[in-house]
Amino acid sequence: MTTTSALTPTATATWRAYLVRCADGSLYAGVSTDVPARVAAHNAGQGARYTRARRPVALAWRSPPLTKVAAHRLEYRLKRLAVGDKRVLAAAPTPARRRLVRQLVNAVREKAVPAAAPTRAPKRAAQNSSD
């Protein structure tokens, strides 16, 4: 009999990227399979070092369910978003927010694993045209 911890994600777990608003007004991006538990961990001081000194935190936004790879790609993009765009995500739903979410999620879902670089055919020996 195999037992799994509630903290151990399974292969079929759905992942989400999220933004939390810290007590100082800053926004922190992360990724988790259980966002409410992760926010609770941040508030308990068990989360990222960045949020430990900025407690309490509150969930500002979370993505739709994604694969693990897509969620991590989205987190990477969120961390590099301009502050204004992060604030748009953290605000109430608006057409601008929906447009931004659609762009971000579509970008990470469409990005396929790059194919292996094509191998070059060996160079042909220089042909002598003295025939």
List the domains of the chain with CATH numbers: 16-110 (3.40.1440)
SS3 75: helix
Q: What is the enclosing helix (H) or strand (E) of 102?
A: helix 95-110
pLDDT of residue 112: 52
pTM of this structure: 0.74
Q: Could you tell me whether strands 16-21 and 58-62 are parallel, antiparallel, or unpaired per DSSP bridges? A: antiparallel
pLDDT of residue 79: 95
SS3 59: strand
SS3 95: helix
pLDDT of residue 131: 52
pLDDT in tens, the chain (131 residues): 444 434 444 456 799 999 999 999 999 999 999 999 999 999 999 989 999 999 999 999 999 999 999 999 999 999 999 999 999 999 999 999 999 999 999 999 865 555 455 556 556 655 655 55
